[in-house]
Amino acid sequence: MKTLHKTALFIACTLAFSSSVHGAYQASEEATQLTQDTILIDSHIDVPYRVNEQWVDVTKATEDGDFDYPRAKAGGLNAPFMSIYVPASLDDSDESTALAHKLIDYVEAIVGRAPDKFAIAKSVADVKSQFEQGLISLPMGMENGSPIQGDLDNLKTFYERGIRYITLAHSQSNHIADSSYDIRRKWKGLSPFGKTLVTEMNNIGIMVDISHVSDQAFYQAIDISKVPVIASHSSLRKFTPGFERNMDDDMIKALGENGGVIQINFGSTFVSKLSQNWRNQMTAKRKALVDKEGEDSPLVAAFDEEYIAKNPFPFANVDTVLDHIDHVVKLIGIDHVGIGSDYDGVGDSLPEGLKDVSTYPNLVQGLMDRDYSEADIKKILSGNFLRVWQAVEDYAAKH
């Protein structure tokens, strides 16, 4: 799976401890129906990279992964952004651009296999009309701007193929921006090209995604952007102190002033300090063992399984995710928060009650239990994101 929080670590967790407890969260008929009756946008699902690693037909039920058609229908998911994820290891190479095109091909292949179930969506209007037709829309966002390769012609090409947001960097600083994970602050924010790119993304109609970038890059991006930006799959640093991948309160406030939206990541280590600390402790102890015994030691090979057996992974739950939504609403209001689960991207670290795309009604039930109105729930499910996307489209139409 994907880098850092998207590792075999969590696969081992699930193999050792089956924590899929859908039954612990029973959504009411009202919550389930509200989910079915509403456009539901999840702005970050890693199906393309999943099927690139091992092809599986997600137009039918699958035995693994977090997404397939039957589960999406059951969960009311009708507009998942397919993440065109390119690993940072491919930065500054033609291979990154080639992989991005290959992953887009996979999304088109999904639609080609089941045009009665799925449709490519390139606009807000597409999502709305496809919802009325009973189709699942597949808009696309590019995770890691590396495939642009410093060439604005590539930006235009990817727009034409359906890319509607770009996460400027991923786990390493690239030619566009510094990454929150990279201690080398190569650009002190955005590169000169990155600053140009933000403007051109505004002009062409591609949303600027500030998930993964450094704090400096975030502030520079919102300063340059003439339209609201998104955080396609981030959570709050308040609950995970020191984890720069998440956003702190000052950033959330700045995002609100910008008119943007933060789409909450479901991964346990993104939403729970306890889960984050567990991961950090395991990583530190594994590194100490490698330093002492060497990477090829049998002790190292057995470490993960033995550690997890003695120290079960502390999964987050629905309430943990809801706490993040509550905090955004408290800080900047109901108009700036949504869902960016990172399904098929965070391995098996998903919270209890939110293990796959069939479980959105559990989140809706939680919102109802916390006295969110139907109108506000609809904003969280899609209204806020659609507002930003429409603003980006309207600006581009004039420029």
Evaluate whether residue 378 is within a structural domain: yes
Q: How many CA atoms lie within 13 A of 156 on its CB side?
A: 3
Is residue 364 domain-resident? yes
Decide if 3 is inside a domain: no
User: Rounded to the nearest 10 degrees, how much is the dihedral formed by the CA atoms of 160, 94, 55, 132?
Assistant: -10
1 in a domain, yes or no?
A: no
pLDDT bucket at 15, cuts 50 / 70 / 90: very low
Domain total of the chain: 1
- If DSSP codes are grouped into helix, strand and coil, which group holds residue 179? strand
- Cβ-proximal residues to 317 (8 Å cutoff; 6+ apart), any chain: 351, 352, 353, 354
pLDDT at 204 over 80: yes
Q: How sure is the predictor about 315, in pLDDT bands with cuts at 50, 70 and 90?
A: very high
Residue 234 has pLDDT above 70, yes or no: yes
Residue 23, pLDDT > 50, answer no
pLDDT > 90? residue 20: no
Q: What is the pLDDT of residues 316-330, one digit of tens each?
A: 999 999 999 999 999
The backbone torsions φ and ψ at residue 249, rounded to the nearest 5 degrees and listed phi first, read -60, -35
Structural domain contains residue 329: yes
Does 209 have pLDDT greater than 80?
yes
**The domain that contains 150 carries what CATH number?**
3.20.20.140
Q: What is the mean pLDDT of the chain?
A: 94
Tokens of 123: 């606009």
Residues 230/210, Cβ–Cβ less than 8 Å? yes
Which single residue is written with the structure tokens 């003695």? Answer: 310
- Binned at pLDDT 50, 70 and 90, residue 2 comes out as low
Average pLDDT over residues 216-239: 98
Predicted confidence (pLDDT) at residue 3 exceeds the cutoff of 60: no
Query: What share of residues in the chain are helix, strand, coil (percent, to 5)?
Result: 50, 15, 35
Of the chain, the percentage scoring pLDDT greater than 90 comes to 92
How far apart, in whole angstroms, are the C-alpha atoms of residue 87 and residue 104? Answer: 15
Model confidence pLDDT, tens digit, residues 169-178: 999 999 999 9
127-156 pLDDT, tens digit per residue, is 999 999 999 999 999 999 999 999 999 999
Q: What is the pTM of this model?
A: 0.93
Q: Does the pLDDT at position 1 exceed 90? A: no
What pLDDT, on the 0 to 100 scale, is given for residue 19?
A: 37
Rounded to 5 degrees, what angle do the CA atoms 282, 285, 288 make? 150
pLDDT in tens, 289-313: 999 999 999 999 999 999 999 999 9
Distance separating alpha carbons of residues 264 and 279, to the nearest angstrom: 20
- Position 24 confidence tier, pLDDT thresholds 50, 70, 90: low
Determine contact, residues 161/190, Cβ cutoff 8 Å: no
Domain that holds residue 159: 8-398
Strand-pair partners of 75: none
pLDDT tier, 12 (very low <50, low <70, confident <90, very high otherwise): very low
Question: Per DSSP, which regions of the chain are E strands?
Answer: 41-45, 79-85, 118-120, 136-138, 140-143, 163-167, 207-209, 230-234, 261-264, 337-339
Question: What is the pLDDT averaged over residues 242-249?
Answer: 97
Please indicate, yes or no, if residue 27 is contained in any of the structural domains.
yes
Domain assignment present for 2: no
Angle at 51 between CA 47 and CA 53, to 5 degrees: 120
Label residue 187 exposed, middle or buried (CB < 10 Å: 0-12, 13-18, 19+): buried
Closest alpha carbon to 171 in 14, 345, 13, 291: 345
Q: What does the pLDDT look like over 362-386, one tens digit per residue?
A: 999 999 999 999 999 999 999 999 9
**Residue 350 to residue 296: CA distance in whole angstroms:** 30
> Confidence band (pLDDT; 50, 70, 90) for 346?
very high
